[in-house]
Amino acid sequence: MRIVAYEKNGGGAIGVRLEDRVVDLSVAAPDLPGTLRGLLAAGPEALAAAGRAAEAADGEARLPLDGLALLPPVPDPPKILCIGRNYAEHAKEGGAEVPAFPDIFMRSRLSLVGDGKPIIRPPVSEKLDFEGELMVVIGKTVHRADRQTALDAIAGYAVFNDATLRDYQRRTTQWTIGKNFDHTGAFGPEFVSADEVPPGATGLSLQTRLNGQVMQDTNTDDMVFPVVEALVVITEAMTLEPGDLLATGTPSGVGYARTPPVWMQPGDRVEVEIEGIGTLSNPVEDEA
């Protein structure tokens, strides 16, 4: 199943995508929760009910996908966790050792933007870099997970661009400030349920393009800490809840490691495509 979040009547709504149409669940199934986070928290039957309602929906509930202003699939996550240096070649291009334990940092929800919306370059820095990544969406409360429990807790996946202000990132030993400028973390275009891709999203090609030029090109099998292993480690420390997000790291080819460095500029368009999940596309604009 594929679910999108989009703007409606000054707020947000969710719908099930069926090819080039979206079934508005606020019309087709008004008794269901109105957010993906709420739908996941309500349990597997709620997600199944959304699928049944979409298949049975008549024309009034079916909207053209092209006419929708998309939001992040989960605009209100309880936590956004991110793994740094999770591809060996990316660690090496930055002059770092391949980590023996996942480098974990966090993002805020206000850093997120949906597909098609601009990634914003702030006036305090021009060193805005791209980072194409796989995003994991948690569907069950889980703590101290083994591999099977971790796999079962994954509701689905989306595409992420962990756009980073590199000079701010490197001002401290912690990366948080460089990763949390408002409207820099592009997330979408849709939620894809876990049953549509291989378990743990293994073996999927990932490519980042800047103005059509391929900048990053890898496979999720190249992760140092695959999705399931990362979740096992993270849940040693903290409980994950429905709607929590995990960005799984970016491969080599980022802008700062190039000679000369390549920074995203106003007027650019950056795309991140993951096999079986979709293509996230965003323009770049200066902050107004």
Instruction: Looking at the structure, tell me whether residues 220 and 244 fall in a common domain.
Output: yes
Q: Residue 270: what pLDDT?
A: 99
- Segments forming the whole domain that contains residue 196: 80-286
Q: Residue 237: what pLDDT?
A: 98
Q: Residue 40: what pLDDT?
A: 98
Tens-digit pLDDT profile for residues 236-263: 999 999 999 999 999 999 999 999 999 9
> Per the structure, how many domains does the chain have?
2
Write down which residue in 71, 99, 124 finishes a domain: 71
Write down which residue in 23, 40, 71 finishes a domain: 71
pLDDT tier, 160 (very low <50, low <70, confident <90, very high otherwise): very high
Supply the Cα-derived Rg of the chain in whole angstroms.
18
260: CATH = 3.90.850.10
Residues 6+ apart with CB under 8 A from 238: 79, 143
Q: What is the mean pLDDT of residues 178-195?
A: 98
Average pLDDT, the chain: 97
pLDDT tier, 198 (very low <50, low <70, confident <90, very high otherwise): very high
What is the percentage of the chain residues whose pLDDT exceeds 70?
Answer: 100
CA separation for the pair 63, 66 (Å, rounded) = 9
Q: How far is CA 1 from CA 52, 85, 156, 217, 273, in A?
A: 11, 31, 9, 26, 18
Q: Residue 248: what pLDDT?
A: 98
Nearest to 90 by CA among 255, 226, 210: 255
What pTM does this model have? 0.98
Instruction: Looking at the structure, tell me whether residues 38 and 163 fall in a common domain.
Output: no
Q: What is the mean pLDDT of residues 206-219?
A: 98
Write down which residue in 49, 71, 93 finishes a domain: 71
Instruction: Looking at the structure, tell me whether residues 25 and 58 fall in a common domain.
Output: yes
Instruction: Looking at the structure, tell me whether residues 245 and 274 fall in a common domain.
Output: yes
Tens-digit pLDDT profile for residues 7-66: 999 999 999 999 999 999 999 999 999 999 999 999 999 999 999 999 999 889 999 999
